[in-house]
């Protein structure tokens, strides 16, 4: 009896032990999933730099994979970003509970081979989720079979160092102590704490676009050993995309510069000397003198301009593409700059300079350019669709065959009772035949390519490409790019998140292998599917569009030569409020132009013109905008004739793109720009196996430099358009008469004619029209005549001393050459009025006139 009872309990304990052991295995091997036939695959992942990242920007994910089975595996490792979605509240509906779901939005992966018994570490690059409580699933699969999976939450968020730029400072090498917990005071007394992240070799990409989480990267001599050739090239590409590279100076400056591709930075290290006194430098960074501390200082020469106090610069700064490089003379990681107030002052000055606060456009943010460009892929040219003759013939055949033809034939053979069956059958066969013809000829995929090629006058053109695929008959679409290392972004335009289920497929996958596969799912096949990316091959074509422009009195003249090998249409010169269409240019052709310089001027009658002439003016008035309307009349806001489809596409693209570049709370006018469009292929798309020739529209946007003939020169007011580099105001207002006002803040503007080195400036004439509006209607379109500029309204930067100096008086200020840099840069700051004490005012766009001589 006792033995039987013991056996019975022993069996129960065995079952309990087996259950406990199984649970223990699940606890010991988290993220481990049975693969097949007893094979096990283990997976784990770590996201970000030290577990941190910037929402919406790329970050690395280190993934660990281990095949503990006895079979070799080959499949795909992918990271799927799940985003939080709550249905919107319907207008007029009561406030009810709306369930939140997490939907698979996008996947980023790589093809992986995993031999039996081996383990590997891979780094995936993917955008960080925007919202908290969102997750990323890491999955290893072979075919459609999921073998291992682990879920990770969103990494810690890096706070923004500025409101307009990404929030992290990356460091290649050791992080300087002064940068670890830097407290920055931004305009408006906004406080931010800088997060510095150390970038190691395995967390540094081979593609520059994947570094967009960083606004600034410090390259130290210690960090030079981190970079291989591809990573070094990626660092330079990141700068051209809008980043700011800071190169450490001091005794290791030559090693730091050697880590970059040759001829990237045309600086020369003249010598390295010891320095102990830092009073001048400390004053420039608004800190106290640290006393006598010996440290090496590199003396630099070459391109760009010096940065720091004029007599003892702290480095040199060079614009490169849409970004810039600052090479320091001192080592920011060593005394006296590595710690304490002096080091913090250095980084405060570095990260808040006016070049870093271009509030109008941050080229590093693709949302301002490429994403916006992708929306234009919906706009197909007229030739993408059949003409009316083809459609008319199709309908005629359809009507004749399906209706009277079938009826006549059945009656002729005495079978009229079959009409109800045969007529629909013939219609179905006819429509099916057309459908099959479209599918097998590749006409079921329409490809529209929209591009913008920019050259901002710094010799580093940038190509932006968006490719749209209209595939209403293909639920799934695979797009294959030849280069696996190319950074490709994807999206489905106007995609409703309700169409994606929580356990469904992501809207697209980007998988890297021997090539790059972009796989769009069957979600919303009738929506436009898009890829967008930086296109270097398209950018190279800008070198063939050569404008030569000279200043002659109040006019600019010149020629535009087309050596692109392409046919360009509607070639146009823009400047200020003026434009001049040169016409169409075939390959190898040259055309001349002559245009009046536009400058804002006060009219007591009120000009009632828009501050920017609309882009359709170019096509409506090719020889320049119309004059002001008569007294009491408004300027036309719509063209007098209907633009054709090709013109409308060009107008729409120009309007949206130039808005991003030029317009803001203070409109200053079009910079000197050469525009051209092209309907031929520009550059290589790099897409494999396209069934049909894509449709192209490319816009060239060039900001050329101008020449100054003769021994003496004059650059008239209005030619150099000011660029707003900092806007710190609580409010703003404007009129329809080119007048602006700001409240309780300031706006900084920079004039930069980019004068050549052989030019000598003699005089700079600044004009600032000031209109007080005390006891006046703010919306009044015709302010009174300009008044004397009082104190506390206007300041100008004195380049020779590195200080801001106030200006007051008549509104016309004759300044000597020390108020301009060597290349003619003039910086002014306008301080807004206070409505509580009746000091508000309007002002017109300021102008600067230059007088000087060519050192021939």
List, as one string, the DSSP characters of 342-391.
Answer: HHHHHHHHHHTSGGGG--S--TT-GGGTHHHHHGGGG---GGGS--HHHH
Examine the domain organization and report whether 340 and 397 are in the same domain.
no
CA distance 749 to 726: 7
Q: What is the pLDDT of residue 584?
A: 96
CATH of the domain at 787: 2.60.120
Examine the domain organization and report whether 177 and 149 are in the same domain.
no
Going by pLDDT thresholds of 50, 70 and 90, the confidence category of residue 739 is: low
Pairing verdict, β 670-678 and 58-67: unpaired
Quick one: what percent of the chain has pLDDT higher than 70?
A: 82
Q: Is the pLDDT of residue 831 over 80?
A: yes
Q: What is the pLDDT of residue 359?
A: 35
Q: What is the pLDDT of residue 180?
A: 85
Going by pLDDT thresholds of 50, 70 and 90, the confidence category of residue 438 is: low
Examine the domain organization and report whether 579 and 680 are in the same domain.
yes
Given a contact cutoff of 8 angstroms between Cβ atoms, the answer to whether 463 and 537 are in contact is: yes
In a domain, 29, yes or no: no
- First-to-last C-alpha distance (Å) of the chain: 120
Of 660 and 626, more confident:
626
The tens digit of pLDDT for each residue in 771-795 reads: 887 645 554 555 567 889 999 999 9
| Range from 97-101, 158-162, 524-528 that averages highest in pLDDT | 524-528
In a domain, 77, yes or no: yes
The tens digit of pLDDT for each residue in 508-554 reads: 999 999 999 999 998 888 889 999 998 889 999 999 999 999 999 99
In a domain, 91, yes or no: no
Examine the domain organization and report whether 185 and 81 are in the same domain.
no
CA distance 827 to 182: 28
Q: What is the pLDDT of residue 26?
A: 40
Residue ranges making up the domain that contains 322: 166-358
Q: Which residue has the tokens 């400036």?
A: 761
* Side-chain-facing half-sphere of 178: CA atoms under 13 Å: 22
In a domain, 121, yes or no: yes
In a domain, 256, yes or no: yes
Given a contact cutoff of 8 angstroms between Cβ atoms, the answer to whether 562 and 677 are in contact is: no
Quick one: what percent of the chain has pLDDT higher than 90?
A: 40
Three-state DSSP class for residue 233: helix
Q: Is the pLDDT of residue 6 over 50?
A: no
Q: Is the pLDDT of residue 372 over 80?
A: no
Alpha-carbon distances of 340 from 290, 309, 312, 787, rounded to whole Å = 9, 20, 21, 48
Examine the domain organization and report whether 235 and 174 are in the same domain.
yes
Given a contact cutoff of 8 angstroms between Cβ atoms, the answer to whether 67 and 114 are in contact is: yes
In a domain, 462, yes or no: no
Going by pLDDT thresholds of 50, 70 and 90, the confidence category of residue 88 is: confident
Examine the domain organization and report whether 667 and 730 are in the same domain.
no
Going by pLDDT thresholds of 50, 70 and 90, the confidence category of residue 692 is: confident
CATH of the domain at 48: 2.60.40.10
Q: What is the pLDDT of residue 402?
A: 67
Q: Is the pLDDT of residue 351 over 90?
A: no
Backbone angles phi and psi of 377, in degrees to 5: -70, -15
Largest CA distance in the chain: 123
Examine the domain organization and report whether 716 and 700 are in the same domain.
no
In a domain, 93, yes or no: no
Q: What is the pLDDT of residue 600?
A: 64
Closest CA to 778 of 828, 724, 830, 833: 833
Examine the domain organization and report whether 172 and 262 are in the same domain.
yes
Q: What is the mean pLDDT of residues 240-253?
A: 90
Q: Is the pLDDT of residue 213 over 80?
A: yes
Q: What is the mean pLDDT of residues 271-298?
A: 92
Structural domains of the chain, count = 5
Q: Choose the weakest-confidence range: 74-78, 344-348, 621-625, 651-655.
A: 621-625
CA distance 175 to 161: 16
| CB within 8 Å of 626: residues ≥ 6 apart | 635
Looking at 399, 424, 439, the residue that finishes a domain is 439
Q: What is the pLDDT of residue 354?
A: 55
Looking at 686, 704, 722, the residue that finishes a domain is 704
Of 112 and 193, more confident:
112
Of 39 and 479, more confident:
479
Examine the domain organization and report whether 684 and 726 are in the same domain.
no
Q: What is the pLDDT of residue 407?
A: 76
Q: What is the pLDDT of residue 187?
A: 58
Given a contact cutoff of 8 angstroms between Cβ atoms, the answer to whether 697 and 679 are in contact is: yes
Q: What is the pLDDT of residue 471?
A: 85
Q: What is the pLDDT of residue 12?
A: 43
Examine the domain organization and report whether 125 and 78 are in the same domain.
yes
Q: What is the pLDDT of residue 720?
A: 93
Going by pLDDT thresholds of 50, 70 and 90, the confidence category of residue 243 is: confident
Of 273 and 436, more confident:
273
Examine the domain organization and report whether 210 and 78 are in the same domain.
no
Of 745 and 478, more confident:
478
CA distance 763 to 758: 16
Q: What is the mean pLDDT of residues 424-442?
A: 70
In a domain, 764, yes or no: yes
Examine the domain organization and report whether 652 and 783 are in the same domain.
no
Q: What is the mean pLDDT of residues 686-693?
A: 86
Of 694 and 387, more confident:
694
Going by pLDDT thresholds of 50, 70 and 90, the confidence category of residue 757 is: confident
Going by pLDDT thresholds of 50, 70 and 90, the confidence category of residue 609 is: very low
Given a contact cutoff of 8 angstroms between Cβ atoms, the answer to whether 330 and 345 are in contact is: no
């Amino acid at each position: 009896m006792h033995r039987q009872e013991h056996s019975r309990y022993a069996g129960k304990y065995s079952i309990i032990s087996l259950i406990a052991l199984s649970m223990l295995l699940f606890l010991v091997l988290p993220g481990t999933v049975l693969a097949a036939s007893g094979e096990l695959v283990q997976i784990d992942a770590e996201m970000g730099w030290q577990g941190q990242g910037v929402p919406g920007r790329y970050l690395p994910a280190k993934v660990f994979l281990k095949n503990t089975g006895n079979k070799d595996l080959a499949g795909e490792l992918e990271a799927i970003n799940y985003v939080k979605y709550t249905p919107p509240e319907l207008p007029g509906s009561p406030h009810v509970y709306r369930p939140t779901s997490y939907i698979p939005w996008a996947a980023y992966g790589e093809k992986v081979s995993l031999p039996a018994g081996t383990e590997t570490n891979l780094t995936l690059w993917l955008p960080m989720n925007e919202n908290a409580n969102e997750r990323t699933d890491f999955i290893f699969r072979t075919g459609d079979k999921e073998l291992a999976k682990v879920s990770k939450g969103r990494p810690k968020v890096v706070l923004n160092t500025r409101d307009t730029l990404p929030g992290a400072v990356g460091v290649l090498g050791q992080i300087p102590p002064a940068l670890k917990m830097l407290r920055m005071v931004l305009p408006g007394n906004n406080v931010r704490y800088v997060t510095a992240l150390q970038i190691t070799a395995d967390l540094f990409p081979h593609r520059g676009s994947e570094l967009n989480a960083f606004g600034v990267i410090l390259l130290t001599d210690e960090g030079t050993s981190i970079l291989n050739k591809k990573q070094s090239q990626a660092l330079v590409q990141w700068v051209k995309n809008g980043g700011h590279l800071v190169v450490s100076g001091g005794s290791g400056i030559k090693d730091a510069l050697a880590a970059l591709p040759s001829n990237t930075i045309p600086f020369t290290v003249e010598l390295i000397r010891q320095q102990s006194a830092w009073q001048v430098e400390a004053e420039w960074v608004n800190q106290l003198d640290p006393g006598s501390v010996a440290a090496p200082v590199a003396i630099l020469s070459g391109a760009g301009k010096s940065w720091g106090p004029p007599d003892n610069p702290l480095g040199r700064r060079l614009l490169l593409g849409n970004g810039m490089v600052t090479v320091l003379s001192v080592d920011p990681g060593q005394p006296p700059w590595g710690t304490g107030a002096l080091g913090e002052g250095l980084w405060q000055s570095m990260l808040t300079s006016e070049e870093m606060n271009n509030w109008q456009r941050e080229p590093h943010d693709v949302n301002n350019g490429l994403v916006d460009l992708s929306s234009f892929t919906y706009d197909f040219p007229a030739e993408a669709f059949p003409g009316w003759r083809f459609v008319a013939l199709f309908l005629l055949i359809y009507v004749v065959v399906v209706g009277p033809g079938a009826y006549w034939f059945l009656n002729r053979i005495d079978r009229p009772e079959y009409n109800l069956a045969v007529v629909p059958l013939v219609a179905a066969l006819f429509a099916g035949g057309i459908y099959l013809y479209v599918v097998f000829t590749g006409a079921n995929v329409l490809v529209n390519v929209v591009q913008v090629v920019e050259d901002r006058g710094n010799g580093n053109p940038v190509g932006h490409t968006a490719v749209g695929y209209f595939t209403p008959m293909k639920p799934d679409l695979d797009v294959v790019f030849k280069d696996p290392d190319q950074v490709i972004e994807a999206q489905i335009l106007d995609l409703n998140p309700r169409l994606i289920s929580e356990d469904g497929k992501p809207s697209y996958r980007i998988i890297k292998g021997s090539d790059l596969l972009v796989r769009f799912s069957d979600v919303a096949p009738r929506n436009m599917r898009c890829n967008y990316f930086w296109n270097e091959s398209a950018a190279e074509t800008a070198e063939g569009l050569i404008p030569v422009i000279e200043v002659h009195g109040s006019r600019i003249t010149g020629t535009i030569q087309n050596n692109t090998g392409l046919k360009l249409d509607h070639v146009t010169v823009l400047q200020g409020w003026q434009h001049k269409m040169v016409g169409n240019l075939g390959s190898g052709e040259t055309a001349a132009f002559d245009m009046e310089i536009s400058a804002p001027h006060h009219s007591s009658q009120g000009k009632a013109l828009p501050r920017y002439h609309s882009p359709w003016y170019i096509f409506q008035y090719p020889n320049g905008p119309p004059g002001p309307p008569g007294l009491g009349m408004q300027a036309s806001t719509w063209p007098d004739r209907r633009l054709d489809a090709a013109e409308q596409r060009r107008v729409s693209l120009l309007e949206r793109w130039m808005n991003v570049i030029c317009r803001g709370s203070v409109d200053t006018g079009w910079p000197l720009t050469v525009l051209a469009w092209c309907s031929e292929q520009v550059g290589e798309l790099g897409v494999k196996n396209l069934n049909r020739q894509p449709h192209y529209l490319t816009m060239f946007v060039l900001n050329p430099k101008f020449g100054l003939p003769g021994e003496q020169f004059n650059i008239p007011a209005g030619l150099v358009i000011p660029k707003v580099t900092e806007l710190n105001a609580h409010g703003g207002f404007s009129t329809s008469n080119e007048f602006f006002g700001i409240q309780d803040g300031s706006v900084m503007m920079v004039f930069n004619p980019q004068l050549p080195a052989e030019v000598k400036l003699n005089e700079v004439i600044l004009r600032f029209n000031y209109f007080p509006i005390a006891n006046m209607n703010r919306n009044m379109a015709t302010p009174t005549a300009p008044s004397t500029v009082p104190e506390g309204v206007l300041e100008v930067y004195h380049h020779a001393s590195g200080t801001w100096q106030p200006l007051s008086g008549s509104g016309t200020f004759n300044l000597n050459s020390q108020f301009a840099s060597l290349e003619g840069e003039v910086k002014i700051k306008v301080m807004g009025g206070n409505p509580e004490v009746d000091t508000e005012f309007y002002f017109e766009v300021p102008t600067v006139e230059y007088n000087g001589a060519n050192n021939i």
